[in-house]
Structure 1
Amino acid sequence: MPKNLSEGTIKKWLQGWCLSRELPLPIRYKSGFKVDVGHEKQKSRYVFPTLNQDFIDLARTIDEPWVFLKVCASPAELKNLLPPQWIIQPQGYMMACLHTMLERPARLNPGYRMELVEYNSTYHLRIIAQDESVAAEGRVVLVDFLAVYDRISTHVNHRRKGLATLLLYELEKIALSKGVTQNFLVSTEEGKLLYQSLGWDLCCLYTSIVIPGGVKGEHNLTIG
């Protein structure tokens, strides 16, 4: 780390992110990409494969809240280049696994079952608990040669039972059944260690910034 990520890989990952979340596909913005998200606290996002003048100029132009700028760079590289209203968000990590994940025994515990739904080249897998609540869930989106993993999560009441590991293996099986062996995701700090234990490699830091909205004094908030 760091490893060079091609613009093509970033574009395909972002396409997968949009398909997973049923959003419009990204459009080109100078040397980066733009997605119209349309949420109250995320109007749009701009993603840049590298930190460059396009990113810096955009940060100096935008003054409205809830527009996220994201770049494959470290917070330290950004810190002295940003106008003061921008807030750096919790660290993200771009990760790849270009082989099958490391073998580990994983079996669904009694009392759980799996449900699979397919949409937009997306496979949404849920692990359902005995009380019919969602114990864990995640998605894999197949974009050409790339399997994009998105929104992998385990409910707090069902953690430390191996559900996330099992979920990842099952999603990988889907990708492999379609002939896709290159895996990619963006991880939080919390998820990074799990992915690394399964053989994923850290490609680069992925840093997000935003101007939070709301009343004066709220700019110390961190919004993911």
Structure 2
Amino acid sequence: MVAAPDGSLSARGQIAPTGGTTVVDQVETAPEHRRKGLGGLVMRTLQNAAVRQGARTGVLAGTSAGRGLYEALGWEVVGLLTSAKQGPSAYARA
């Protein structure tokens, strides 16, 4: 987590190492702190931590808004992700 001077969230992210692979999750930058390099700082920090823990491959499901950042850091798009949601009304019809 990167905190603003007032202690509020500027940027954050987390990893889940699973041996040779790590999953990058919940990378976000607060709107008022975007375009300052914080997303890159978070991603490089996470990548370095993953490598220190033995990861050779990273996996993430990113938004189109984050795609430019990930590609600039050497990540490659290998497939598009489809988001879906199912609410209580769908269960009521079953």
Give the TM-score category using the shorter length.
0.7 to 0.9
Whichever of the two has the greater Rg, that structure is: 1
Residues 1:193 and 2:72 are matched in the alignment = no
Aligned runs of 1:63-74 on 2, under 5 Å? none
Structure 1 residue 198: Cα displacement: 1.1
| AA in 2 matched with 1:199 | G
State the Cα RMSD in Å. Answer: 1.4
TM-score w.r.t. the length of structure 1 is 0.38
Deviation at residue 213 of structure 1 after TM alignment: 5.0
Match of 1:146 in 2: 21
Q: Which runs of 5+ in 2 are unaligned?
A: 90-94
C-alpha distance in structure 2 between counterparts of 1:204 and 1:135, whole Å: 29
Aligned pairs for 1:83-102 (under 5 A) are none
Gaps of 5+ in 1: 1-125, 215-224
**Equivalent position SS for 2:39:** helix
Per the alignment, in what secondary structure is the counterpart of residue 202 of structure 1?
Answer: coil
Question: Contact conserved, 2:2 with 2:11, CA < 8 A, in 1?
Answer: yes
Give the Å deviation of 1:212: 4.2
Q: Per-residue displacement from partner, 1:38-76 (whole Å, max 9, x unpaired)?
A: xxxxxxxxxxxxxxxxxxxxxxxxxxxxxxxxxxxxxxx
Taking the aligned partners of 1:197 and 1:183, their CA distance within structure 2 comes to 15
**RCO higher in structure (CA 8 A, sep ≥6):** 1
The residue aligned with 1:173 is 48
Kindly provide the CA deviation profile for residues 116-145 of structure 1, in whole angstroms up to 9, marking residues without a partner as x: xxxxxxxxxx00111011110000110121
Which residue of 1 is the match for residue 58 of structure 2?
Answer: 183
SS across alignment from 2:40: helix
2:92 counterpart residue number? none
* One of 197, 202, 208 as aligned partner of 2:77: 202
Amino acid at match of 1:139: Q
Identity across matched positions, percent = 33
More strand by share: 1
Kept after mapping to 1: 8 A contact 2:19/2:54: no
CA deviation map 1:162-218 (0-9, x unaligned): 00001111111111111212111001111112111111111111112233457xxxx
Aligned residues: 89
**1:133 aligned residue:** 8
